[in-house]
Amino acid sequence: MTRKNDPKRKKDVMSGAQFKELRESIGLSQTELAEEMGVYPPWVSRIESEYEGRKPTVMAVNFIQYIQRHLNLKKSHENLKMKHDDLKKTHEKLRLEAAQLYELLNKKS
What lies within 8 Å, CB to CB, of 26 at 6+ separation is 64, 67, 68, 71
Residue 9 domain-assigned (yes or no): no
Residue 7 domain-assigned (yes or no): no
Residue 2 domain-assigned (yes or no): no
User: What is the domain count for the chain?
Assistant: 1
The interaxial angle of helices 16-25 and 58-108, nearest 10 deg, is 30
Is residue 62's pLDDT more than 90? no
First to last CA, the chain: 89
Residue 4 domain-assigned (yes or no): no
CATH assignment of the domain containing 72: 1.10.260
Q: Which CA distances in Å does 1 have to 11, 13, 48?
A: 15, 17, 23
What lies within 8 Å, CB to CB, of 45 at 6+ separation is 30, 51
Domain that holds residue 68: 16-108
Is residue 90's pLDDT more than 90? yes
Query: What pLDDT does 11 receive?
Result: 59
- In this prediction the pTM is 0.52
Q: Please state the separation of Cα 58 from the chain's center in Å.
A: 18
Residue 75 domain-assigned (yes or no): yes
Question: What are 21-55's pLDDT values in tens digits?
Answer: 888 988 889 998 888 888 888 989 998 998 888 88
Q: Helix, strand, or coil here: 56?
A: coil
Is residue 72's pLDDT more than 80? no
Residue 62 domain-assigned (yes or no): yes
